[in-house]
């Protein structure tokens, strides 16, 4: 049975939260769809002198609480449906973390691995030029996402400032440090997730947080940092399984995270890591570990495999890895879920800190960033737990309710509804 579209999944999550909150029909309807969407074609001159057309999209979901913020993705399978869902989740994430931001998401349908550096730069600048009148510090702030990074953001910032004729470093986040980026940005998603896990250990409760076994499905930037930060923040831990797009590895006696990160850098994959055996993505998800970090694709935990999930805690580094049907199954089976809008909000939080630093022209130490990041996570976790106990719902529903209530309040104060 095929999974529903990602945006349909996001809407169903919203519908449940809206019913629990008793939202009026108009407010609910306004929150179910993006406020604005852009579709466009980007003509880009290639290195061989030809011109190629690339499809681009940008979704501004809701900006009642402040200017939109969201990443730009370069991916061959990018769809408007995915971007709508991600923009919605970013809107809720900002509200859960009490950031004065809304949610957006953009993307270009392309194979970035097939583009030269010069072609990628021209594509990034073309994207910015097309949307420039809808972007900026008071409208919509861009950030890196799939197959984009600090260098892509540097090109976009330069294009924006060239058109504006003045400096606006806060118009783009996730920039390189010399252009006003923030320290701590690379590890922010993972640091926030492990900090949320530490708070969850107090609620469940877990007697020995420093002795938890954990597995990571998806060993990209967030997954790598989670592998390293889990034992640092919790005081210990046993990494038993890891996978990436090239396969998975398993060792019940433990995998050294630092050695694995170095191996991935050298070989480009985790498969073949010494003293480990191969494991499939499916089998990794179903291992009897204390903590499972899904850090790759959407909808990997579904109604079909949820009954076989044997972890105690799912900490969602990825966006939308668990379907609504799986949520309910996991809850019945006693699995504690730290939902994505809590677990992976660190990148958004530190991007907001980057804006603050840009505005003040004063830059924090990494210790300052990490301390402020963890404080936001701790407060948000406590708020969501309070909502969860009050309404006797899952943590995801509680987080969505907390977020939707804040966005709905802002819309009412503005007179939109």
Residue 133, token pair as written in the block: 């009148």
DSSP single-letter state for residue 100: S
Query: Is 200 within 8 Å of 336 (Cβ atoms)?
Result: yes
Which of the residues 20, 93, 105, 175 is marked catalytic?
105
**Rounded Cα gap, residues 1 and 181, in angstroms:** 44
**Rounded Cα gap, residues 148 and 124, in angstroms:** 9
Distances (CA, A) of 164 to 153, 214, 305, 411: 16, 48, 51, 30
Report DSSP letters for 280-326, one per residue. Answer: -HHHHHTS--SEEEE-S-TT-B-TTTGGG---SEEE--SSS-B-HHH
**Widest pairwise Cα distance in the chain:** 64
* 105 counts as catalytic: yes
Closest-CA residue to 196 (of 228, 237, 234, 240): 234
The catalytic site residues sit at: 105
């Amino acid at each position: 049975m095929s999974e529903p579209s990602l945006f349909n999944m996001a809407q169903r999550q919203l519908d449940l939260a809206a019913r629990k909150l008793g939202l009026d029909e108009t407010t609910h309807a306004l929150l179910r769809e993006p406020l604005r969407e852009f579709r466009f074609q980007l003509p880009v001159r290639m290195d061989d002198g030809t011109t190629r057309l690339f499809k681009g999209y940008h979704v501004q979901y809701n900006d009642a609480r402040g200017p939109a913020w969201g990443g730009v993705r370069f991916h061959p399978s990018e769809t408007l449906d995915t971007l709508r869902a991600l923009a919605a989740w970013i809107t809720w994430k900002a509200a859960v973390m009490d950031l004065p931001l809304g949610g957006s998401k953009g993307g270009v349908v392309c194979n970035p691995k097939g583009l030269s550096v010069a072609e990628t730069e021209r594509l990034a600048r073309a994207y910015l030029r097309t949307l420039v009148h809808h972007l900026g510090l008071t409208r919509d702030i861009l950030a890196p996402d799939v197959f984009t990074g600090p260098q892509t953001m540097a090109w976009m910032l330069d294009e924006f400032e060239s058109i504006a004729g003045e400096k606006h470093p806060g118009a783009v986040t996730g920039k390189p440090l010399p252009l006003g980026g923030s320290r701590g940005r690379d590890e922010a998603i993972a640091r926030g997730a492990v900090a949320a896990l530490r708070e969850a250990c107090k609620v469940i409760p877990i007697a020995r947080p420093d002795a938890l076994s954990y597995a990571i499905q998806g060993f990209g930037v967030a997954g790598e940092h989670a592998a390293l930060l889990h034992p640092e923040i919790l005081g210990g831990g046993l990494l038993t399984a890891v996978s990436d797009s090239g396969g998975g590895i398993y060792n019940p006696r433990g995998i050294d995270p630092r050695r694995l990160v170095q191996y991935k850098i050298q070989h480009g994959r985790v498969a073949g890591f010494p003293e480990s055996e191969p494991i499939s993505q499916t089998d990794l998800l179903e291992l009897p570990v204390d903590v499972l970090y899904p850090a790759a694709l959407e909808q990997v935990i579904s109604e079909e495999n949820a009954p076989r999930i044997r972890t105690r805690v799912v900490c969602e580094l990825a966006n939308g890895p668990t379907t609504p049907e799986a949520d309910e199954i996991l809850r019945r089976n006693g699995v504690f879920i730290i939902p994505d809008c809590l677990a992976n909000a660190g990148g958004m939080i530190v991007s907001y800190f980057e804006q603050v630093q840009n505005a003040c022209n004063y830059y924090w130490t990494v210790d300052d960033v990490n301390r402020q990041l963890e404080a936001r996570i701790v407060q948000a976790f406590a708020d969501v737990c309070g909502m969860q106990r009050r309404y006797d719902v899952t943590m995801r529903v509680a987080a969505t309710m907390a977020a939707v209530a804040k966005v709905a309040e802002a819309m009412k104060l503005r007179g939109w509804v």
